[in-house]
Structure 1
């Protein structure tokens, strides 16, 4: 198990470029299964979860070639369907949440898609109902082996249908879209997710020959086609990493520039950080954060009541950044209520922040009130364990702001979502060391 050793309390300075988007990569990589033609993808992040999915595709028989850093070609012209029913696949698929999104394209192109119950972060229940109910609406037969926790869907030919999704699941919408593009007739998906990464998937599929309209809205209309062809695709920068660096700059009173952020795809992320009193300047397609030497002050609502920041489906605030917001609030002037609606276990890491000296009241599994220190007392260095990707980075930011030397164990969780994070932080002045 790897460990980060962090000497906190130092200002950072310089520029940092965000990696390619993890959550987009997991969708886009699964989409290569929809065509036997060559697909070239740029800006793929070199992180554990994405590399696991690439390995899974190789075992499925997809020809994968690395052209340069972040650029790969994929060709799924000799897919090994027997691997889907092997014990090896049942083991490989469990280690990655994103593996669920191979089901839609495999079902559409080959008539069957299987998946073991996928793993991922331990942040609470993450239902798969939206995925399979959507595929059943398209005519698939569903089966589930309870003992092995193994799911399967099969169909000779999918047929378009109208469906109203119970939840605007991003991965669920992606799976249904990838199945519907090769279905017979028209599919209408209402209450579809409309995140920028889902929009990227739809734009890529349209370049491949799909007919998807309503991209960017919560109603997608898909007219099925017989086949799809190859394409080139470049992924967006990772908005969660961009938010992480904004929070890092504020907590360490550092002047940082985050380059090539695709500002127009960030939604309300800059606005939410500004509500915490953080100066977020747009410079072309870069974000500049000046050194907050005098701290930052949380706004209140117009009527003077305490600010509440909560997550919601896009264009609401992403749940993946609430952990960062919570940590940043620990050194603000004022108080804020953090309301994590989607996952009931995601706030349980706050006990570690409380041990570091943060003033946090965990109201229930979904809500925490943070009373900021205004930098009048610093967080204390300590030894911690990373419970999941986003909480792990939040603890890393806390450690970089704390006086003294902290250690964070189980950093494999952080590596799942952040590319070479220790090297990139050292480049802007962080004192962080990786211990094996």
Structure 2
């Protein structure tokens, strides 16, 4: 189990460039299975979860060639479907939440797709019903092996259908879209997720020859095609990492420039941070964050009541940023209610922040009230264990702002989502070492 040692309390400065988007990469990489032609993907983040998925694709028989840092070509012209029944796949697929999105493209192109119950962050219940209900509506037969927790769908031919999704699941929508692009006839997906990463997937599929309309809305219409071709695709910067660096700058009173953020794809993120009192300046496609020497003050609602920050489907705030926002609020001037609606275990890392001296009231599994110190009292260094990716980066931000030397164990969780994070942080002045 890896460990970070962090000497906190030092201001940072300089420029940092966000990696390619993890959540987009997991969708885009699965989509290469839809064609036998070559697909080139750029700005792929070098992180554990993405590298695991690339390894699974190679084991499936996909020819993978690294062109340069973050740039790969994929050619799925000799897919070995027998691998899906192997013990190795049942082990590898279980270790990665994103492996569920292999099912849609495999079903569309080869008539069958299998997956073990996927793993990932232990942040609460993450059901798969939306995915499989969509496949069933397209004409697939579903089976489940309870002993092995192994899912399967099969179909001689998929046929387009109308469906109203029970939730605007991003991965569920992506999986169904990838199945529907090669189904016979028209598919209509209502209550579809419309996150920028899903828009990126749809635009890529259209370049490959798919016929998807309504991209960017919650109503997608797909005319099925018989085959798809190759394409080039460049992934967006990771909006969660961008939010992480905003939080880091605020907590450490640092002057930072976040490069090439693709402002138009950030949605409400800049405005949410402004409500928390953070000054953000747009400089082209960069975000400049000045040194918050006097701290930052949380806004109240116009009637004077306490501000509430909650997650919601796009264009609402992504749930992945609530952990970072909660940590930031511990040094704000004012109070805020954090409402994590989607996952019932994601706020359970707050006990570690309380140990560091934060004023947090955990109301229930979904809500926490944070009363800011306004930097009049700093967080205390401590020893912690990272429970998941987003809590891990939040604890790292807390440690960088705290006085003294903190230890964070189980940093493999952070490495799952953040590329070379210790090296990149040292480049802007952080005192962090990997043990």
Q: Tell me the TM-score normalised to structure 2 length.
A: 1.00
* CA deviations over 1:37-70 (Å, ceiling 9, x no partner): 0000000000000000000000000000000000
- TM-superposed CA distance for 1:182, in Å, is 0.2
Aligned to 1:177: 177
Secondary structure of 1:100's counterpart equals: helix
Could you say which residue in structure 2 is the equivalent of 1:337?
337
Q: In the aligned structure 1, how far is the partner of 2:339 from the partner of 2:81?
A: 44
Offset of residue 88 of structure 1:
0.9
Distance in 1, Cα, partners of 2:371 & 2:47: 34
CA distance, structure 2, for counterparts of residue 129 and residue 278 of structure 1: 39
Aligned to 2:345, the other structure's residue is in SS state coil
Secondary structure of 1:5 counterpart? strand
1:209 and 2:205 aligned: no
Equivalent position SS for 2:377? coil
Corresponding residue SS for 2:125: coil
> SS where residue 237 of structure 2 aligns?
coil
- 1:424 equivalent in structure 2: 424
CA shift, 1:291, in A, is: 0.2
How big is the shift at 1:294?
Answer: 0.2
* Deviation of the 1:420 alpha carbon: 0.2
What is the aligned partner in structure 2 of residue 288 from structure 1? 288
| Mapped pair 1:399 → 2:399 | yes
Give the secondary-structure state (helix, strand or coil) at the position aligned to 2:363.
strand
Deviation, structure 1 residue 142: 0.1
Residue in 2 aligned with 1:40?
Answer: 40
Deviation at 1:208, TM superposition (A): 0.1
Task: Name the residue aligned to 2:245.
Answer: 245
Aligned to 1:200: 200
**Greater alpha carbon shift after TM alignment, 83-92 vs 182-191:** 83-92
For structure 1, which runs of at least 5 residues remain unmatched after alignment?
A: none
1:92-241 equivalence runs, <5 A: 92-241=92-241
Q: For residues 89 and 409 of structure 1, what CA distance do their matches in structure 2 show?
A: 28
Q: Over aligned residue pairs, what C-alpha RMSD do you find?
A: 0.2
Distance 1:124 1:260 in 2: 33
**Secondary structure class of the residue paired with 1:292:** coil
Cα distance in 2 between the residues matched to 1:248 and 1:87: 42
How much has 1:265 moved relative to structure 2? 0.0
Give the Cα–Cα distance (whole angstroms) in 1 for the partners of residues 233 and 277 of structure 2.
Answer: 37
User: Per the alignment, in what secondary structure is the counterpart of residue 39 of structure 1?
Assistant: strand
| Counterpart position of 1:377 | 377
SS in structure 1 of the partner of residue 73 of structure 2 = strand
Report SS of the residue matched to 1:166: coil
| Structure 2 gap segments, 5+ residues each | none
SS of residue matched to 1:417: coil
State the alpha-carbon separation in 2 of the partners of residues 348 and 47 from structure 1: 25
Q: For 2:197, what is the secondary structure of its paired residue?
A: helix
Cα offset, 1:283, TM superposition: 0.6
Superposed, which structure 2 residues align to 1:253-402 within 5 Å? 253-402=253-402
Question: Aligned partners of 1:303, 1:116: CA distance in 2, in Å?
Answer: 50
Count of aligned pairs between the two proteins: 435
Q: Deviations over 1:142-198 (max 9, x none)?
A: 000001000000000100000000000000000000000000000000000000000
